């Protein structure tokens, strides 16, 4: 009796195993009335997208699944054509776009900013410029009482304390914004370090993610690190005012961050807005993008799916923008929205525009 029960259990297990293998082999079939879209990519806008898609589901009954697996993962997923859209904090290089095999549209969704957060007694308001920031992160400005820092901060008593540099250890859009800014403004940085989502840091210690960097900064007196504005606002960490290209010291706020996009934007919106010439702009600002194929008939996608995707993106550029500021993400300026709409209208299905 007992053995036969065991036998049956084994059989059942075997059946489950086979079922699992078979299920893993099949892909879920798409099509029909589109109730669901899926995307994957950047973690930076993840809170914004979650909220936006939540609101969108209530107004349109289309559910959007977004996985914050990182920009690299999002690009990979779009290349493999397993998602409707990817999301990235850095626009695709020409080389990367070529690897995608088909033209990709970059639709910006919000403007983010990187701030320099520090841990000093009394939380003084610090002013920094790109030369000092580059000096600190290259390890040449080593003490807080260095004349280079003191010169920008008259009236602030700076301690005789070693500067501890904290950077991101994981590849990230945040690092890309930060290093692009330094490469653009400091020739020494450009030559020795360069720009990218991950670079060879000449100095300091690395923390994983914004929370990793913030944790190390909070724990070490005299440390300075770069984190996203959203994260600094949410955790109440102090951050520096930075000299912009127009020669004004600007505190990062949603308004000064959005102002960075008030520049001549290229039609494809693949543009870095760091070190913006706009007089009120905070210099360490950048777009984050949703990536979609221009030609929507790929894999076995239906016209309905393409339409649903276009509707979603149109909404994100319109009503969806109201979500941005509540969550501390910069709103897209009108000029950027107009150009993004033009990009959306170039979406095609079998060569004819998607309507």
Partner 1 sequence: MERLSADSRREKVREAAYKTATTVAAVALVATIALFLVQLATASHASWRAFGLRFLWTTEWNPVTEQFGALPMIVGTLVTGFGALAISTPFALGIAIFLADYASKRVTEPFKYLISLLGGLPSVIFGLWGLIVLVPRIGRLEVWFGTLVHSEALVQAGTTGVGLLSSVVLLALMILPFSSSLILESLLLVPTELKEGSLALGATRWDTIQSIELPFVRKSTVGALVLALGRALGETMAVTMVIGNGMRMPRTLFDPANTLASAIANQFLEATSPLYVSALTELALILFVIAIVINIGARVILRRGVQQR
Binding footprint of partner 1 on the chain (CB under 8 A): 7, 10, 14, 69-73, 75-76, 95-96, 99, 162, 164, 169-173, 193-201, 204-208, 212, 215-216, 219-220, 222-223
Query: Backbone phi, then psi, for 174, in 5-degree steps?
Result: -60, -45
To the nearest whole angstrom, how small is the minimum distance from the Cβ of residue 103 to partner 1?
18
Nearer to partner 1, 212 or 252 (CB): 212
Nearer to partner 1, 103 or 202 (CB): 202
- Between strands 36-41 and 63-67, the pairing is parallel
Shortest CB 35 distance to partner 1, Å: 29
Q: Which pair of structure tokens corresponds to residue 248?
A: 């004004």
Q: What are the angstrom distances between the C-alpha of 13 and each of 10, 19, 95, 260?
A: 5, 10, 48, 60
User: 10 Å Cβ neighbour count for 124?
Assistant: 17
Tell me if 190 sits within 8 A of 150, measured CB to CB. no
109: tokens are 């969704």
Compare residues 149 and 254 and give the one whose CB is closer to partner 1: 149
Q: How far is CA 81 from CA 7, 62, 177, 313, 345, in A?
A: 43, 20, 27, 18, 21
Q: Which helix (H) or strand (E) holds 127?
A: strand 127-128
Q: Which is nearer to partner 1, 144 or 282 (CB)?
A: 144
Rounded Cα gap, residues 68 and 39, in angstroms: 9
Of 20 and 335, CB closest to partner 1:
20
Comparing CB distances to partner 1, the nearer of 193 and 258 is 193
Q: Tokens 């525009």 map to which residue?
A: 353
Nearest to 135 by CA among 124, 126, 146: 146
The secondary structure element, H or E, covering residue 161 is none
In angstroms, give the least distance from the CB of 164 to partner 1: 6
Beta carbon of residue 166, minimum distance to partner 1 (angstroms, whole number): 9
Q: Closest approach of Cβ 216 to partner 1, in Å?
A: 7
CB 37, min distance to partner 1, A: 22
- CB 256 to partner 1: min, Å: 27
| 179 versus 285: smaller Cβ distance to partner 1 | 179
């Amino acid at each position: 009796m007992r053995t036969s029960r065991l036998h049956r259990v084994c059989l059942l297990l075997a059946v489950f195993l086979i079922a699992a293998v078979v299920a893993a082999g099949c892909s879920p079939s798409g099509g029909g009335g589109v109730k669901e879209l899926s995307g994957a990519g950047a973690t930076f806008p993840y809170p914004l997208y979650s909220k936006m898609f939540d609101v969108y589901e209530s107004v349109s009954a289309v559910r959007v699944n977004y996985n914050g697996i990182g920009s690299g993962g999002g690009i990979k997923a779009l290349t493999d054509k397993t998602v409707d859209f990817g999301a990235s904090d850095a626009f695709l290089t020409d080389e990367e776009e070529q690897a995608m095999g088909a033209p990709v549209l970059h639709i910006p969704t919000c403007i983010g900013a990187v701030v320099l957060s520090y841990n000093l007694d009394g939380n003084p308001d610090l002013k920094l410029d790109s030369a000092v920031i580059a000096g600190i992160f290259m390890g040449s400005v080593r003490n807080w009482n260095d004349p280079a820092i003191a010169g920008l901060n008259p009236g602030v008593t700076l301690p005789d304390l070693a500067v501890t540099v904290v950077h991101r250890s994981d590849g990230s859009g945040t690092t890309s914004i930060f290093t692009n800014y330094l490469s653009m403004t400091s020739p020494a940085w450009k030559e020795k370090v360069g720009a990218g989502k991950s670079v060879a840091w000449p100095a300091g210690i690395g923390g994983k993610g914004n929370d990793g960097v913030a944790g190390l900064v909070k724990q070490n007196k005299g440390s300075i690190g770069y984190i996203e504005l959203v994260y600094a606002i949410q955790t109440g960490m102090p951050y520096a005012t930075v000299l912009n290209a127009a020669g004004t010291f600007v505190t990062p706020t949603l308004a000064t961050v959005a102002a960075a996009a008030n520049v001549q934007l290229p039609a494809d919106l693949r543009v870095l807005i760091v070190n913006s010439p706009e007089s009120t702009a905070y210099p360490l600002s950048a777009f984050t993008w949703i990536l979609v194929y221009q030609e929507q008939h790929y894999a076995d996608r239906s016209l309905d799916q393409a339409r649903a995707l276009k509707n979603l993106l149109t909404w994100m550029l319109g009503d969806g923008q109201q979500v941005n500021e509540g969550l501390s993400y910069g709103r897209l300026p009108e000029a950027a929205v107009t150009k993004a709409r033009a990009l959306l209208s170039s979406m095609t299905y079998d060569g004819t525009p998607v309507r």
